[in-house]
Amino acid sequence: MAALIDRGMVEVSGGRMRIAYIVDSFPVVSETFILRQIQGLRREGHEVLIFAGASSHRIPQEHSGIDPLLLARVRLYNVKPQQSWRRVLKAMAIFPYFIVRAPQSWFRSLDIFKYGAEASSLNFYFQAFTFSEAAGYDAVVAHFGPNGIVGARMKALKVFRGRLFCFFHAYDLTSYVRRMGGNVYEELFRYAEKVFAVSERGRRMLIALSCPTEKLAVFHMGVDPEAMVFRPRDIDPGKRVKLVSVARLVEKKGIVFGLEAVKTLIERGYDIQYEVIGDGPLRTELELRAERLGLKARVNFTGMKDPNFVRHALNVSDIFLLPSVTADTGDEEGIPVVLMEALAEGIAVVACNSGAVGEIVIDGETGVLISSADAGLIADGVCRILKDPSAVKIMSRAGRRLVERQYNTHVLDQALVVELKGKQ
């Protein structure tokens, strides 16, 4: 896929497609790459229907600019009556519609000998009925391995006739596999037309999980470089230096090491201001940690913000900090989209070599790559930037070129359509 993107353009032939997506919930502020991909397909004139396992409760705040027509295309597939008698009545009521949409699926979904409680509880019956709205669609795209498993199940139940594609990102190759076992994707690999890893590291991990290599490809997520103003930073180490991190506040993002690195930098005599954008289960703990480090006036936890806020924060900051680690669960980074945005904006990047980060932050070329999450090493990486401001502009230009060449969402959208169409 990288070679395809390097050619700069992808020719797309054929007509309008109908494409179903399977996601955890929609929209999710930390998964703007999914929204961007769907919007790209819609701009190209393709019809999209979205199946979500759960509802999103933050739509007005986080995605106030999203097209209401797109929100109307979201279907929740895990909805069924709680009481068993109500479930039976509803199952009978929807049966005439079900048998017209997917005549083979209703019977298969009730196979208690094969599916046990999932069949006897009518769980698979109601899921299959919801998905049957897309029975005649051309392609089904799942983001994250567990959603791909749902798609494979629907293929097994003969709900979908369209080709199944699945994008793997990070946790679905690490902590999820550790918890569920190495053969968890066996059915998905059997039913999928194509399996996409968003990084070369992900591709290797999928091979280790026995994904057939003929079905496997690297397909990056992307950003829109044209929507971002490239501005290499003029950093004056004698003045206040603004650091920023944008992350869900979970262990693998390593924000605690970012806080400790800020403390170290201040002790070395630098005037540092650190902004942390995002929310998550560790927020209270991290705020207390900052206070104990004496950083209350130097660190600002903004909480979750919309993409416009994030873009402004990147624009006014000097250094983007990504202090990621491998979590105790095994979860690690893929290639964070906000990292692509930072490079496209021209902000200097200091990142830890977790997961696939090293595929985009090339030490000394597109940014400063730290070998491991250690406060002292992170502080040293920031100092490299501060002591050699002229190198920042060289790295910034290289980072921008890399994003334009390999992570340009416009080119990726066209390439995805080619993949979804397959051989005509």
C-beta of residue 21 within 8 angstroms of C-beta of residue 143: yes
For the whole model, what pTM was predicted?
0.91
C-beta of residue 312 within 8 angstroms of C-beta of residue 195: no
CATH architecture of 2-222+408-421: 3-Layer(aba) Sandwich (3.40)
pLDDT along the chain (424 residues), means of 10: 40 75 89 91 94 72 68 92 93 94 93 94 96 96 98 96 96 96 97 97 97 97 92 90 96 96 97 96 97 96 90 94 94 93 96 95 96 94 93 94 96 94 71
pLDDT of residue 66: 78
pLDDT of residue 211: 98
Structure tokens at 381: 């990486």
Read off the DSSP letter of residue 177: H
Question: Domain 225-406 in CATH: superfamily?
Answer: Glycogen Phosphorylase B; (3.40.50.2000)
Structure tokens at 132: 């049957």
pLDDT of residue 27: 86
Task: Return the bridge partners of 22, or none.
Answer: 51, 142
Give residue for tokens 């979904």. 109
pLDDT of residue 57: 57
Spell out the domain ranges in the chain.
2-222+408-421, 225-406
Read off the DSSP letter of residue 31: G
Give residue for tokens 């037309």. 193
Q: Considering Cα of 225, then 231, then 236, then 239, what sign does the dihedral take?
A: negative
Listed in sequence order, the residues at least 6 apart from 297 whose beta carbon sits closer than 8 Å to its beta carbon are none
C-beta of residue 336 within 8 angstroms of C-beta of residue 349: no
One fold for both 2-222+408-421 and 225-406?
Answer: yes
